[in-house]
């Protein structure tokens, strides 16, 4: 087993990481704002959490063995009308304190139409921004991932400039689904240990030597995925530790629990200067089908302990933020996948229900009770709150917060929740006070993606005949070229480019990449190389189309399976409909670095011999040639440097001519990621 397969979850509390990117300057100063998500996994029973006092008789009748005596409840707000009168569970003194301090808003009757009562499906729906009508397995992205990708379009999974922090951090065993995006650089990383001061040491010892060659099989794809995770983890490890060590907590005492530790860590990250935008914590154990209460004292039991931990942990977190003078930067949202049935079961517990409530907490929050109580006389056929009582779709709650707190425009909101009707999204609930609410004139507008058609030209040393100025097509002529792109093994490229019939004069596959000004790889595509050096699309067109780009200057990199990768010197500007041409065959300084091309009678070609694609021509490349040379059977292999189909003396000569050559260090660093 390679070192890269060290278990990603081990003892202690796991931490997942979603990679970071450039956080652009904002005239409205919202870039230091933080959203903390607390997921109560297992479906919290909202009815015993916040009892609707105007339906107390129905509550007691439907839960004869579970209901709490009214005298034991904490009346939340005596100024509210009867249909908003709530009695909090006696364990929720912390939430009561936050409400009285003007820092808690309770949002009642939330959920989505046609509630799904499966934990896993409902969790998927809530984290992907769905309503239950779209199959969860057809919507792979999470709504937080879509929002962050939309907000920071230059994000490429790596630190950039002065912005070194992950966009999202997931603590504990919270699900990463909400952060998923379709791009391969959007990776959630799982680390062990709730001692962030040791994160760097933990991460640094996970990998050992990098594992660079992956078989093109399902198992190989898993190995490649694991390796990419670990490399990304190492990029952030030192920064995570540095931010934690640079921060501190106040004298506030947190509960010594999973949730308490998670929130304590988040506070310390923020105080240490973290500019992470979304944190997610998790408290599990809420699936209380059995022994939800202690029969001898209903104020105690499993549910009471869970509520106390949640309430005390959140109060400690808010007090800590206040003492650290950073409480004006943070808004916290507490949610669960659904609530429980109103009727009790026969095991001192409750079963899966429908609608629930959400809590929104923080200094910037307008306190109060949003919307009227659940009607406990209006139940469905299974004894749960009837779905017709839905007041606000959960996506509407998040839309309101994203706009008022994070400055998301309507376009951004629609991109974040693409499976939602606008009438679901735009019925705002005012959560943020006037002093902290983002003015609509400050909403950020996503940058519209653009497409361009790139023309290019490169030669391959060994393939190129100096006399004719053209490259050999022997591989294609002998049907040796694979019809599926071959860059998975050495470049971790998982594109699905497939050719049924190769265009006339095809030489080989070539991998084309765009790099932005921060030397981040922002796009990749496998293409074909023609004998005159021109790159071709798979159908033979003399250009390659790139879509979903953002307007910015980029440089172009060309990578081949046996040649030293090169990066163009001069940038091209990405604009809609642009048709740039990048010719790397006419002069040495067309590419970055010193002597990174071979001058062949005035024609400049990519250097041959880097068979393992590590940026150095060395003994490892010779070993590939030697192993292949024993065979003598024509094939498509990386010991064949000149494209003849055989590993021969000609290939050895090419290797010897470039032996000890080192590629551009900038490209080498990218190749190793």
Taking 50 as the threshold, does the pLDDT of residue 461 lie above it?
yes
Boundary of a domain, candidates 412, 442, 472: 442
CA distance 669 to 521: 12
Per-residue pLDDT tens digits for 548-574? 888 889 999 999 999 999 999 999 999
Boundary of a domain, candidates 408, 442, 476: 442
Taking 90 as the threshold, does the pLDDT of residue 518 lie above it?
no
Q: Residue 236 falls within a domain, yes or no? A: no
Q: Residue 320 falls within a domain, yes or no? A: no
Same domain, 466 and 600: yes
Taking 90 as the threshold, does the pLDDT of residue 187 lie above it?
no
Same domain, 426 and 466: no
Same domain, 349 and 465: no
Cβ-Cβ contacts under 8 Å for 32 (sequence gap 6 or more): 275, 329
Q: Residue 207 falls within a domain, yes or no? A: no
Same domain, 425 and 464: no
Neighbours of 505 (CB within 10 A): 18
Same domain, 524 and 600: yes
CA distance 233 to 19: 9
Whole-number pLDDT of residue 58:
98
Q: Residue 301 falls within a domain, yes or no? A: yes
Helix 258-271 / helix 218-246 crossing angle, nearest 10 deg: 70
Mean of the per-residue pLDDT values of the chain: 86
Per-residue pLDDT tens digits for 578-601? 999 999 999 999 999 999 999 999
CB distance 599 to 454 below 8 Å: no
The Cα angle at residue 139 between residues 138 and 144, in degrees rounded to 5: 165
| CA-based max dimension of the chain | 98
Same domain, 631 and 602: yes
Burial annotation 319-345 (CB, 10 A radius, 16+ → b, else e): bbbbebebbebbbbbbbbbbbbbbbbb
Q: Which of 590, 595, 531 is nearest to 557 (CA)?
A: 590
State the total domains in the chain.
2
Taking 70 as the threshold, does the pLDDT of residue 233 lie above it?
no
Q: Residue 47 falls within a domain, yes or no? A: yes
What number is the average pLDDT over the span 596-613? 95
Boundary of a domain, candidates 399, 418, 442: 442
CA distance 628 to 332: 60
Same domain, 427 and 544: no
Written in H, E and C, the secondary structure of 383-424 is CCECHHHCCEEHHHHHHHHHHHHHCECHHHHHHHCCCCCHHH
Same domain, 438 and 458: no
According to DSSP, the residues that pair with 513 across neighbouring strands are 524, 557
Q: Which of 447, 410, 446, 451 is nearest to 428 (CA)?
A: 410
Same domain, 526 and 392: no
Same domain, 409 and 544: no
Range of the domain at 526: 450-671
Per-residue pLDDT tens digits for 424-438? 999 999 999 999 999
**Residue holding tokens 């021109």?**
534
Domain CATH number, residue 665: 2.60.40.4130
CA distance 672 to 669: 5
Same domain, 480 and 414: no
Same domain, 364 and 298: yes
Q: Residue 11 falls within a domain, yes or no? A: yes
What percent of the chain has a predicted confidence (pLDDT) above 90? Answer: 67
CB distance 617 to 592 below 8 Å: no
CA distance 70 to 239: 51
Per-residue pLDDT tens digits for 339-378? 999 999 999 999 999 999 999 999 999 999 999 999 999 9
Q: Residue 198 falls within a domain, yes or no? A: no
Q: Residue 208 falls within a domain, yes or no? A: no
- Taking the model in full, what pTM does it have? 0.74
Per-residue pLDDT tens digits for 382-413? 999 999 999 999 999 999 999 999 999 999 99
């Amino acid at each position: 087993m390679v070192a890269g397969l060290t278990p990603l979850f081990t003892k202690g509390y796991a931490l997942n990481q979603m990679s970071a990117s450039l956080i652009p300057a904002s005239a409205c100063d919202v870039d230091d704002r933080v959203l903390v998500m607390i997921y109560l996994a297992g479906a919290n029973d909202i009815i015993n959490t916040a009892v609707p006092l105007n339906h107390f008789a129905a509550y007691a009748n439907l839960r004869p063995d579970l209901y709490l005596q009214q005298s034991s409840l904490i009346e939340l707000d005596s100024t509210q009308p009867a249909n908003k009168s709530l009695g909090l569970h006696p364990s929720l003194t912390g939430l009561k304190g936050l409400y009285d301090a003007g820092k808690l808003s309770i949002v009642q009757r939330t959920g989505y139409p046609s509630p799904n009562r499966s934990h896993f499906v409902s969790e998927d729906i809530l984290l992907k921004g769905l309503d239950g009508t779209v199959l969860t397995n057809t919507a792979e992205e999470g709504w937080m991932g879509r929002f962050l990708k939309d907000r920071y379009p230059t994000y490429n999974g790596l630190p950039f400039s002065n912005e070194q922090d992950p966009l999202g951090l997931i603590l504990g065993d919270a699900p990463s689904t909400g952060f998923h995006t379709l791009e391969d650089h959007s990776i959630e990383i799982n680390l062990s240990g709730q001692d962030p001061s040791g994160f760097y040491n933990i991460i640094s010892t996970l990998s050992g030597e990098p594992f660079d060659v992956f078989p093109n099989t399902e198992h190989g794809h898993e190995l490649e995925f694991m390796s990419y995770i670990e490399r990304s983890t190492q990029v952030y490890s030192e920064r995570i530790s540095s931010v934690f060590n640079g921060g501190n907590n106040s004298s506030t005492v947190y509960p010594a629990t999973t949730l308490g530790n998670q929130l304590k860590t988040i506070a310390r990250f923020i105080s240490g200067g973290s500019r992470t935008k979304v944190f997610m914590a998790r408290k599990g154990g809420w699936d209380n089908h059995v022994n939800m209460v202690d029969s001898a004292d209903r104020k105690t039991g499993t549910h009471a302990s869970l509520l106390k931990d949640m309430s005390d942990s959140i109060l400690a977190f808010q007090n800590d933020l206040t003492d650290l003078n950073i409480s004006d930067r943070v808004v916290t949202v507490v949610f669960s996948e659904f609530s429980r049935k109103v009727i009790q079961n026969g095991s001192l517990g409750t079963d899966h229900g429908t609608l629930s409530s959400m809590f929104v907490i923080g200094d910037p929050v307008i306190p109060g009770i949003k919307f009227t109580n659940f009607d406990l006389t209006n139940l469905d056929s299974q004894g749960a709150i009837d779905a017709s009582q839905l007041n606000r779709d959960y996506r509407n709650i998040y839309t309101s917060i994203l706009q008022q707190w994070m400055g998301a425009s309507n376009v951004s909101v629609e991109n974040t929740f693409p499976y939602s009707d606008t009438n679901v999204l735009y019925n705002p609930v005012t959560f943020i006070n006037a002093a902290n609410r983002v003015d609509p004139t400050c909403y950020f507008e996503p940058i519209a993606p653009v497409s361009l058609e790139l023309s290019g030209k490169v030669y391959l040393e060994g393939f190129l005949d100096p006399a004719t100025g053209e490259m050999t097509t022997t591989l294609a002529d002998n049907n040796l070229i694979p019809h599926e792109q071959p860059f998975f093994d050495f470049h971790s490229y998982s594109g699905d480019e497939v050719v049924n019939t190769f265009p006339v004069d095809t030489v080989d596959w070539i991998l084309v990449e765009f790099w932005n000004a921060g030397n981040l790889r922002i796009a990749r595509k496998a293409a074909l190389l023609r004998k005159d050096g021109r790159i071709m699309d798979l159908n033979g067109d003399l250009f390659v189309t790139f879509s979903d780009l953002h307007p910015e200057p980029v440089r172009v990199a060309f990578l081949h399976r046996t040649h030293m990768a090169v990066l163009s010197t001069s940038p091209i500007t990405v604009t809609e409909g642009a048709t740039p041409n990048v010719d790397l065959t006419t002069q040495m300084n067309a590419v970055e670095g010193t002597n990174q091309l071979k001058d062949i009678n005035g024609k400049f070609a990519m250097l041959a011999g880097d068979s393992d694609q590590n940026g150095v021509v060395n003994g490892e490349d010779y070993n590939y040639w030697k192993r292949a040379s024993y065979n003598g059977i024509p094939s498509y292999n990386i010991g064949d440097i000149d494209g003849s189909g055989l590993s021969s003396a000609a290939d050895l000569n090419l290797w010897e001519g470039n032996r000890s050559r080192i590629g551009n260090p900038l490209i080498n660093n990218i190749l190793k990621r």
